[in-house]
Structure 1
């Protein structure tokens, strides 16, 4: 079977489970670090003719990361496109099984059971915190409603200050963010690479938790490590 992945987390999931299946991935597919496949540009601007020329048996995509127009063009070229939707941890586990078992014809991988067990063992602290979770700046954008990352943080005792916003990734002026009543800023290193300097500059009154974007936003093998990695970063951010 020949698979093209247009989602970094799904690329890692397939590569770790059955590396011989992947024939192409996006430029943003950075894990595993030694991944050696054809690159077909980005998640938002895939090289459709190049993908079609590879004649894959399956293209795997995501409703949030990939544009419907590109996916429609792939389907019109006769390719089978499997599109995932992941807004909760339970959805992530279900969609991973759909991609790997139903889509790729693989046995359910051991790492997926390990990830489920890791999250099943999570015990959120009794003291819950409220956080601003930026994903971009210039302009400032934050996590809003119904996001996978927001669901993971909630399981670790951190409520998203904008979980009730009408938009999933709202643009919020910095002065409004500063007045949101949060007691923590969670700063991932992707898609925008926030650094130790961003928190004090933007939110001088709040402790900042610098977290791995891969562990916060990717659904794949990283989920097995995510509770420990994210939990440690959140515990370290105390005012």
Structure 2
């Protein structure tokens, strides 16, 4: 007996930029332009519906084998995307570029996240679950993450901390960033919270700020052991440490592991 065809129904949703997006529900051909959101889609059980990812979508490892790589987060291959005929594209205000998103939005449903806090990330997870038909699974995941952070408490007086994301020039995470919110929740005081977003910092500015701790992120710049001494010379009294940038800045399902990591990091400070 032939089963009846299930037709997609239009679902109108509002993304985190306040844009109204009409998506066939449930979407069957999803392109993800954001690594952390790609991992989220796979963890929501949507691997067979993810048809396109970026070259930076390294989690899960099979994502770039099972889906077509459509370029980077800031340089899309529009021909490859067109060939995939997506019925939903997931992007992000910060990680993607406006011109590319606008070009895609002229032809496809494009839902954009805008993440500056843990609350924003949890909202994104729940909303992605809603628009992909995996609301129950997404809600459970968001609740798990929310509870893990609720139990995170500082084990020591807050440490004045600098979090570096780049070298040559030096750049740090400052106010109105997701990393800044995570630092605060972990019990660290961001010494550059008086500046906005990702400012360039000179060695003199760093020394004058007198951080007690310097965190060197594994991404986007790949800080390594060889860079530790460079910062110890700049700030001889500070503790300089390498940290897992994914657990500070990936705002999808990887957040399940962040609170435990931050707890251990604080204990070791």
Normalising by structure 1, report the TM-score: 0.93
Correspondence for 1:161: 191
Residues 174 and 202 of structure 1 are in contact (CA less than 8 Å); yes or no, is this contact kept in structure 2? no
Partner of 1:233: 265
Secondary structure (helix, strand or coil) at the match of 1:134 reads: strand
User: Within 1, Cα distance between the matches of 2:159 and 2:225?
Assistant: 20
Partner of 2:249: 217
Q: Choose 199-208 or 170-179, whichever is displaced more.
A: 199-208
Cα contact 1:52–1:79 (8 A) shared by 2: no
1:38-86 CA-to-partner distances (Å, cap 9, x unmatched) read 101110111122112211111000000000100001012x100000010
Residue 219 of structure 1 aligns to a residue whose secondary structure is: coil
Aligned equivalent of 1:85: 114
Determine helix, strand or coil for the equivalent of 2:209.
Answer: coil
Question: What SS does the aligned partner of 2:251 have?
Answer: coil
Shift of 1:9: 0.4
SS at match of 2:180: helix
State which drifts further: 13-22 or 66-75. Answer: 13-22
Match of 1:208 in 2: 240
Large movers: runs of 4+ above 4 Å: none
Structure showing greater radius of gyration is: 2
1:23 counterpart residue number: 51
- Distance in 2, matches of 1:174 and 1:5, equals 38
Question: Counterparts of 1:51 and 1:20 in 2: how far apart (Å)?
Answer: 17
Structure 1 residue 161 displacement after superposition: 1.0
- Match 2:155 to one of 119, 125, 129: 125
Query: C-alpha displacement at 1:174, in angstroms?
Result: 2.0
The number of residues matched between the two structures is: 234
Unaligned runs of 5+ in 2: 1-27
The answer as to whether partners of 1:114 and 1:224 remain within 8 angstroms in 2 is yes
Q: Residue 42 of structure 1 is aligned with which of 66, 69, 72?
A: 72
For the pair 1:9 / 2:48, whether they are aligned, the reply is no
2:180 to 150, 173, 194: 150
TM-score, with length taken from structure 2: 0.83
Evaluate the alpha carbon distance shift between residue 124 and residue 234 of structure 1 in structure 2; reply closer, same or farther with a 3 A threshold: closer
Is this contact kept in 2: 1:187–1:211, CA < 8 A? yes
For the residue of structure 1 that corresponds to 2:149, the secondary structure is helix
CA contact (8 A) 1:215 1:226 kept: yes
Picking from 111, 114, 123, the partner of 2:141 is: 111
Distance 1:170 1:214 in 2: 20
- Whether the 8 Å CA contact 2:231–2:240 is kept in 1: the answer is no
**Matched residues in 2 for 1:229 and 1:195: separation?**
19
1-side partners of 2:229 and 2:267: how far apart? Answer: 18
